[in-house]
Amino acid sequence: MAINFNNSNIATRENRIGSITGYVGTLKDLANQSQCGTLKGCSRCFSQSSTCLSSCGLSQLAAIRDVAVIHHGPAGCSVAGSSAYYMSKVMAKKRGVTSDTIYVGTDMNENDTIFGSTESLRKIILEVNRRYAPKAIFVSSSCATGIIGEDIDSTVEEVREEVDTPIVAVHCEGFKSRIWATGFDIADHAVLQEIVQPPREGVKTNKINFKNFFESARPEIIDIFSKLDLEPVFLYCNSTVEELSHLSESIATTCICGTLGNYLGNALEEKYGVPYVRSINQCGIRGFEAWLREIGRVTGRSDKVEQYIEEQRVIYLPQIEEVKKELKGLTAVIGMGPGYTFEVSRVLDELGIKVVWALAWHYDKKYENGDVPPSMKYLLDNDIDFEASVADQQNYEVMNILNQYRPDMYLSRHPGSTVWAIKNGTPAIYVADEYMIFGYQHTLEFAKTILDAIRNRSFEKNLAKRSKLPYTDWWYSQRVDKFLEEAK
C-alpha cells in the first residue's frame, strides 16, 4: 500500500482494497473468488438500512481528549455529535479523566449550498479556536459540501498560521462509500497526516499501540502487558494529542479488530517501520494464544509469552472444557462486522457450536498490505466452511435466514439486530463489548453466557408468540441467494 500523507482525501475501501457489501454463497467460494480476482459483489434493489461513514470516522476523532471536530454540513449530519458527546464525556468519566472535546456543526442552509460557505467555515474555525483552545482541530466535509465542491482543504490552509494548533481536513462525504468502516480509515488518515510526528532521534519505547473502541479491558490488558514488559497505548478513546504524536516511537501496533485497525497499523509500519501485529484476534483460546505469540515474536518476548500462556492454561482450560460438553452440537447464525464475524465463527467452532450461516456487514477481500484477513485465512486453512453472506445490516435478510435455519442462537454486535431475532423466537446473544470473548477468562464467561441464553428459552418463546412481525410468508419463502442474484 502506498500511503500518501500529502493528500487529505483517501480512496474508499471499495476502491482501495476491493471491499463489497453484497454476496451470498459459502465461505470457501467467497475466499476463492477473492483470491482469483473475480469477486465483484452484488447490489440490492431494496436496502433497509445503512450508516454514514462520518459517524464512524468523526466519533473516533471526537474520542480524542481536548480536540475540536468541526462538521461542515447541514444540521442533520451533525447527529454524529451525540455519539461524540458520549465518547468524550462518558468514557472519560469512566476512566477518571476529563475531556474538553467539542463537536460543532456549521449548520449549512440552502443559501450555503448554492453560494458556498467557506467564509463562514473560516470564521467558525477561528472562533472555535479562540473560545476553546483545542489541542487539535478536525474540519470535516459532508455530502452537501462534497456535492458543491466546497474547498475545505484551502480553508484549512488559510487559517493554519492563525490557529497555531494542528488542523486537518477530514473528507467524510457520506455518499462516497457504502462501507461505513471507511470512516475508520479516514480518521486514521487524519491523525497520521497531522498529529503523528516522526520518531525523535534514538527514541524507541516499550509502548505498544493498541487500537480499540472503548478500552473496557484497560486494567486487565495493562496487567497482562506488564508481565511482558510492554506498555499499551490505547487508541483513540481518551487518547491525548501528545500521546498520539509519539505513535511512531512504539515497538509495535496491534488492534482489537482488523477492520478497525488495519489502516493505522499498516501505515505506521510503512511510514515509520513500527511493526504491525498480523494475527487472528484475541477472541477465544486459539486467537488469544496466536495473538500473544505474534506479539512475543515481533517484540522479542517469546519466552515471557510462553510462560504466561502456560500459567493461564492450567487455570482456565479445564473449566472451558467442562462447559463445552453442554455446547457441543448447538447451531448458530452470526451477523456482525467482518472483523468479528469470522473471528467469532472460529470461537464457536472451538466451543463445538456449528455455524450454519454467517453474515458480515461488509467484506474486505484483502487488507492494506494485500493479505487475506487473518481470521478468514484461519478458517480456510482449517477447512472450516459454512454458508455466508455479505449484507450491510439488512435485517430483513437476517430474518429470512433465521426463519429458514431455526438455529439455537443468533449472535450480533448490533443491538437492533438481536431484538428482531428475539421477536422471531431465536435466543440472541448481544456481543456488545469488544472484549466479551477476550482471552481465557472472557472466553469462559462467553461460553457460560451462551449456556444461559439457550437453557431457558421461555422469554423468546413468549415474546415471539405476542409479536406481530412485518415479514410476510412470501418473504420467508424466498431464498436470499436467489433474491440477490436477480438483483445483480
- Residues binding ligand SF4 (CB under 6 A): 52, 54, 73, 77, 142-143, 174-175
Nearest distance, CB of residue 395 and ligand SF4, angstroms? 19
Q: Is the CB of 174 or the CB of 258 nearer to ligand SF4? A: 174
Q: Is the CB of 175 or the CB of 476 nearer to ligand SF4? A: 175
Nearest distance, CB of residue 180 and ligand SF4, angstroms? 10
Nearest distance, CB of residue 54 and ligand SF4, angstroms? 5
| Closest to 30 in 3D by CA, of 365, 383, 280 | 365
Q: What are phi and psi of 208, to 5 degrees?
A: -125, 120
Nearest distance, CB of residue 445 and ligand SF4, angstroms? 37
**What is the spatial distance between Cα 14 and Cα 50, in angstroms, rounded to a whole number?**
16
Give yes or no for a contact between 117 and 125, defined as CB atoms under 8 angstroms apart: no
**What is the spatial distance between Cα 373 and Cα 122, in angstroms, rounded to a whole number?**
42
Q: Is the CB of 175 or the CB of 459 nearer to ligand SF4? A: 175
Give yes or no for a contact between 347 and 471, defined as CB atoms under 8 angstroms apart: no
> What Rg, from alpha-carbon coordinates, does the chain have?
23
Nearest distance, CB of residue 184 and ligand SF4, angstroms? 15
Can you read off the three cell numbers belonging to residue 279? 494475527
User: Looking up cell 504491525, which residue turns up?
Assistant: 276
Q: Is the CB of 78 or the CB of 253 nearer to ligand SF4? A: 78
Q: Is the CB of 73 or the CB of 232 nearer to ligand SF4? A: 73
Nearest distance, CB of residue 19 and ligand SF4, angstroms? 18
Q: Is the CB of 173 or the CB of 434 nearer to ligand SF4? A: 173
Nearest distance, CB of residue 336 and ligand SF4, angstroms? 22
**What is the spatial distance between Cα 190 and Cα 178, in angstroms, rounded to a whole number?**
20
**What is the spatial distance between Cα 80 and Cα 73, in angstroms, rounded to a whole number?**
12
Give yes or no for a contact between 138 and 171, defined as CB atoms under 8 angstroms apart: no
Q: Is the CB of 77 or the CB of 125 nearer to ligand SF4? A: 77
Nearest distance, CB of residue 77 and ligand SF4, angstroms? 3
CB-based burial of residue 199 (10 Å sphere; 0-12 exposed, 13-18 middle, 19+ buried)? middle
| Closest to 228 in 3D by CA, of 298, 315, 279 | 298
Nearest distance, CB of residue 108 and ligand SF4, angstroms? 10
Residue number of the CB closest to ligand SF4 reads: 174
DSSP secondary structure letters along 265-285: HHHHHHHH---B--S--SBHH
**What is the spatial distance between Cα 404 and Cα 384, in angstroms, rounded to a whole number?**
22
Nearest distance, CB of residue 158 and ligand SF4, angstroms? 23
Q: Is the CB of 133 or the CB of 147 nearer to ligand SF4? A: 147
**What is the spatial distance between Cα 363 and Cα 359, in angstroms, rounded to a whole number?**
10
CB-based burial of residue 86 (10 Å sphere; 0-12 exposed, 13-18 middle, 19+ buried)? middle
CB-based burial of residue 330 (10 Å sphere; 0-12 exposed, 13-18 middle, 19+ buried)? middle
**What is the spatial distance between Cα 32 and Cα 146, in angstroms, rounded to a whole number?**
36
Nearest distance, CB of residue 145 and ligand SF4, angstroms? 9
User: Looking up cell 438455529, which residue turns up?
Assistant: 407
Nearest distance, CB of residue 444 and ligand SF4, angstroms? 41
| Closest to 238 in 3D by CA, of 49, 399, 396, 88 | 88
**What is the spatial distance between Cα 347 and Cα 196, in angstroms, rounded to a whole number?**
35
Q: Is the CB of 143 or the CB of 181 nearer to ligand SF4? A: 143
Map 381-416 to HEC letters. Answer: HCCCCCEEEEECCCHHHHHHHHHHHCCCEEEECCHH
Q: Is the CB of 10 or the CB of 221 nearer to ligand SF4? A: 10
Strand partners, 359: 335, 389
- The Cβ of residue 38 has, within 10 Å, a number of other Cβ atoms equal to 8
Q: Is the CB of 180 or the CB of 420 nearer to ligand SF4? A: 180
Q: Is the CB of 174 or the CB of 425 nearer to ligand SF4? A: 174
